[in-house]
């Protein structure tokens, strides 16, 4: 039988599903009322997680801990990235291959009753990187200030997205019970949550068929499958770190020689060592 903590982990994404699918906001749209029951479940679900520590750790890895990094437009990309998790935000008329996560985060913030600035409505306000770079309106800096003030809210959203991905990983695995058990063991501590969410930012969930070399992936699913047994507490994060290193070495060994991925291995392993 699942314990209360496992039931909360399973039920919370279902309770909050509607927040990801609100219609586009309008000028007259107000935040939905905050349910006392939902707040109680939310508080219980995040009670054992140091959201501030975890959020700042993600912020450090994704944006070097800098405020300017909270709104950026990477070279070679057709969209800006926002927040500690570099949430993707597409310009008007653009449809890309990646999950556009920033509008979902905005809907979650409104669902939580947080006042969201109007400049987060609709598509990204810059059509191109050149327009973003040339913008002197101060809008990007205002966005950065708001995001810097809501680190824990972004961390909640990142955690909920991770929980929503667990059923897909279980479905894709030949040993779903082990995947679930190892995921919950890691989700029992803040450091374990750092492993789960940072690795997805780092190398993905491991579910895309296109992210394979010799039919072997390198995402979170593959790390959970590589773990041995069902360790708990610090032993779980140490085993995750070890398994992540194995998966990274396997990726490099399987990669086409022309890509020269061996030059990145030392840095990848350093990041895996932080999961201990």
Burial class (CB in 10 A: 0-12, 13-18, 19+), 4: exposed
Kindly state whether residues 141 and 198 are assigned to the same domain. no
Answer yes or no: is pLDDT of 29 > 80.
no
Q: Using 50, 70 and 90 to split pLDDT, how confident is the model at 36?
A: low
Query: So what's the pLDDT on residue 96?
Result: 82
158 in a structural domain: no
**Beta strands, E only, the chain:** 71-72, 81-82, 87-88
Count structural domains, the chain: 2
Residue at 194 is within a domain: yes
Check pLDDT > 50 for residue 245.
yes
Last residue of a domain, one of 89, 121, 152: 152
Verify that 146 and 252 share a domain, yes or no. no
The reply to whether 119 falls in a domain is yes
- Please indicate, yes or no, whether residues 187 and 71 belong to a single structural domain of this protein: no
The answer to whether residue 215 sits within a structural domain is: yes
Instruction: Say yes or no: 86 and 126 in one domain.
Output: yes
Are residues 103 and 26 located together in one domain of the fold? yes
Q: What is the pLDDT confidence band of residue 37, given thresholds at 50, 70 and 90?
A: low
Same domain, 45 and 142: yes
Q: How many CB atoms lie within 10 A of CB 237?
A: 23
Task: Assess if residue 85 is contained within a domain.
Answer: yes
Buried b (16+ CB within 10 A) or exposed e, 125-162: bbeebeebeeeeeeebeebbebbeebbbbbbbbbbbbb
Per residue in 100-151, pLDDT (tens digit) is 899 999 999 999 999 999 999 999 999 999 999 999 999 999 999 999 999 9
| Residues 205 and 134 occupy one common structural domain | no
143, 190: one domain: no
Is 167 inside a domain boundary? Answer: no
Note the pLDDT of residue 23.
31
58 belongs to a structural domain: yes
The backbone region for 245, taken as left when phi is positive above 0, alpha when psi lies in -120 to 50, beta otherwise, is: alpha
Q: Please give the mean pLDDT across all residues of the chain.
A: 86
Q: Over 80: is that where the pLDDT of 45 sits?
A: no
Distance CA 112, CA 136 (A): 32
**Cα 63 to Cα 86: distance, rounded to the nearest angstrom:** 8
Is the predicted pLDDT of residue 59 greater than 70, yes or no?
yes
pLDDT > 50? residue 15: no
Query: Who's near 163: CB < 8 A, 6+ residues apart?
Result: 9, 10, 12, 13, 187
60 pLDDT above the threshold of 80: yes
What is the number of residues in the chain?
276
pLDDT bin (cut points 50, 70, 90) of residue 47 is confident
Residues 66, 103, single domain; the answer is yes
Domain annotation covers residue 217: yes
pLDDT at residue 41, rounded to an integer: 54
Residues 255, 16: Cα–Cα separation, whole Å: 39
Q: Which residue has the higher pLDDT, 47 or 41?
A: 47
Domain of residue 189: give its range.
Answer: 173-273
Q: Is the dihedral of CA 111, 116, 121, 125 positive or negative?
A: negative
């Amino acid at each position: 039988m699942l314990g209360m903590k496992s039931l909360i982990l399973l039920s919370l994404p279902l309770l909050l599903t509607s927040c990801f699918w609100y219609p586009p906001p309008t000028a007259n749209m107000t935040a939905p009322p905050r349910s006392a029951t939902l707040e109680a479940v939310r508080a219980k679900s995040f009670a054992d997680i140091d959201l501030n520590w975890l959020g700042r750790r993600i912020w450090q890895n994704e944006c070097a801990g800098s405020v300017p990094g909270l709104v950026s437009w990477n070279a070679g990309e057709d969209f800006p990235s926002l927040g500690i998790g570099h949430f993707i935000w597409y310009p008007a008329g653009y449809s890309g291959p990646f999950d556009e996560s920033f509008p979902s985060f905005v809907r979650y913030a409104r669902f939580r009753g947080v006042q969201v600035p109007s400049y987060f409505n609709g598509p990204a306000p810059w059509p191109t990187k050149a327009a973003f770079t040339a913008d002197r309106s101060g809008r990007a800096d205002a966005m950065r200030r708001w995001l810097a003030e809501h680190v824990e809210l972004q961390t909640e959203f990142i955690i909920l997205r991770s929980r929503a991905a667990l059923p897909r990983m279980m479905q894709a695995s030949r040993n779903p019970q082990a995947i679930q058990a190892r995921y919950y063991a890691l989700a029992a501590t803040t450091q374990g949550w750092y492993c789960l969410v940072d690795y997805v930012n780092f190398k993905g969930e491991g579910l895309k068929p296109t992210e394979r070399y010799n039919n072997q992936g390198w995402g979170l699913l593959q790390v959970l499958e590589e773990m041995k047994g069902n360790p708990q507490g610090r032993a779980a994060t140490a085993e995750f770190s070890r398994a992540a290193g194995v998966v990274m070495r396997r990726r490099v060994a399987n990669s086409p020689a022309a890509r020269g991925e061996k030059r990145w291995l030392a840095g990848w392993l350093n990041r895996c060592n932080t999961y201990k």
